[in-house]
Amino acid sequence: MRKRGELRHLFTDWRELAREYVIVVLGVLTALIAQEWVQSIEWRDKVSAAVSDMDQELSNGDGPQALVRLAMHQCLADRLQALRETVNSGNRETVKQQIARISLPLRTYNSFAREAASSSDIAAHMPRHTMYEYRVVYSLMPELDDVHRKELEDLAELRSLPASGGPLSQQEKHVALAAVENLMLDNDRMKRASAFTLRHMRDLEIGVNRPQLQRNLADVPVYGNCLTSHIGQMVDLSPPPNAR
């Protein structure tokens, strides 16, 4: 009888132990699942905020700038071609007049929102396709920024040509022509990079903010109707501002 009682007590102890073990395991699993669920919501909110920041950066900043530069391409190319011919003629007064008709908007092409998403590991929690599309659309921002800085330096070189002194000397022609050629090459690079950016913005259904576009246009009034007519021809590259 004593042994039977000991066995019954031992069995009860094991049953209690098993019950407590199951309770502990279920509690831990429940806590882990709840923690995973909360983290999932937090990451989803962070991803949503990061996507919104990138959309705003592209729609309000890089996109309008790219659209204006794409529209500017032919206007600027025509004036640079005319300037090249005038420089060869050596007429200083006409050269200075044509240089005054060349203007570039002072711009920076930013990737702050994309960099913030990458540095905070948010990009790693985005759907793979979404992460890839944003990486593509931002890929040429450094090039746009670098080329724009270079062309500003070339324009400064042109504007440094003295206003007086008679016909251009051979050295002055050489300096001016070098700056013009560089500007023509830079203008073509800006066109290609801007078109690429706008196409991929369209793929992401990110529209160009129209008020920001108008502000960018207002910064280069020297091109007048030439610029606005080219903008009108490229409406298909600029989705409606509320596309997303």
Tell me: the pLDDT tens digits for 55-96?
A: 999 999 999 999 999 999 999 999 999 999 999 999 999 999
Residue whose tokens read 């062309």:
151
**DSSP category for residue 234:** T
Tell me: the pLDDT tens digits for 228-240?
A: 777 766 654 444 4
Tell me: the pLDDT tens digits for 134-162?
A: 999 999 999 999 999 999 999 999 999 99
Tell me: the pLDDT tens digits for 185-203?
A: 999 999 999 999 999 999 9
The pLDDT of residue 10: 52
- Give the global pTM: 0.78
Which residues, 6 or more positions from 223, have their beta carbon under 8 angstroms from its beta carbon? Answer: 72, 75, 76, 103
Q: What is the DSSP string of 150-180?
A: HHHHHHHHHHTS-S-SSSPPHHHHHHHHHHH
